[in-house]
Amino acid sequence: MTSSFMTVQGAGSTAEQEAYSHIQQALRFGRYRAGDRLIPEDIATEIGMSRMPVREAFRRLASEGLVVLRPNRGCIVAGLTLDEIYETFEIRSVLEGLAVRLAMPRVDGAVIDELEMLLERMERAGATGGSDWVARHQEFHSYICGLSGKPKLVRQIAALHVVIEPYLRIWFDYVEKPLSAREEHETVIAALRTGDAKRAETVMQDHILGTAPMLADYASPGRR
């Protein structure tokens, strides 16, 4: 079973979805920074469509907290304060902890093997020094959350990953690779192996909360 945080899916016309996915990806990869103004005409021209689907995409992104729609200023890329970074990780810890608990009945040997493979991919990406590690990291978490069988929960978690991804990439740029990442994710896998849903939930929550201080440090003003 696979799932992905790479694009948060939702309702909408084909053109609106295309515009939404295009802008969301640009936000995730840091092409647009906090405070940047998004010009619908420019984006529409870039994608090859009219302005209307782009404006609809703006509204959808605003509902997810990724942009802010302001009178006379248009669409502005939202940013997170340090408090909001911590809050985002706190919410993630609760939701992903719940996802792990719900996933436990589906965890078997094949699932553990898949997670070990995903962890190896993450490790190889980190060793190369490329930010592909971020995508592999999300893939690992996405796979576990997808096992919960709760699409709405998965979408909510995915939206939080999108919000935090630009900051995660900034963090990765400042370190050769997350030195404790393998050990931390191995701890998550070990907890899943036990079959103890409550323990797995707690381990996942601790893992996510432990990342917040490091990320907040590298995302703070003056460190970029």
The pLDDT confidence band at residue 219, using thresholds 50, 70 and 90, is low
Mean pLDDT of 174-182: 61
Lowest mean pLDDT among 57-61, 76-80, 135-139, 213-217: 213-217
The pLDDT confidence band at residue 97, using thresholds 50, 70 and 90, is very high
Task: Could you please state the CATH topology (level 3) that the domain comprising 82-219 is classified under.
Answer: Four Helix Bundle (Hemerythrin (Met), subunit A) (1.20.120)
Percent of the chain with pLDDT over 70: 85
Q: What is the pLDDT of residue 63?
A: 86
Q: Summarize pLDDT for 145-164 with one digit per residue, the tens.
A: 999 999 999 999 998 988 88
Q: What is the pLDDT of residue 222?
A: 47
Task: Could you please state the CATH topology (level 3) that the domain comprising 14-77 is classified under.
Answer: Arc Repressor Mutant, subunit A (1.10.10)
The pLDDT confidence band at residue 175, using thresholds 50, 70 and 90, is low
Q: What is the pLDDT of residue 44?
A: 95
| In the chain, domain spans | 14-77, 82-219
Mean pLDDT of 184-201: 96
Q: What is the pLDDT of residue 224?
A: 46
Using CA atoms, how far apart are residues 197 and 195, in angstroms rounded to an integer?
6
Q: What type of residue sits at position 180?
A: S
Q: What is the pLDDT of residue 79?
A: 81
Flag whether pLDDT at 47 surpasses 90: yes
Mean pLDDT of 2-21: 66
Lowest mean pLDDT among 39-43, 77-81, 150-154, 217-221: 217-221
Mean pLDDT of 45-70: 92
The pLDDT confidence band at residue 1, using thresholds 50, 70 and 90, is very low
- Give the count of alpha carbons within 13 A of 213, CB side only: 4
pTM, rounded to two decimals:
0.76
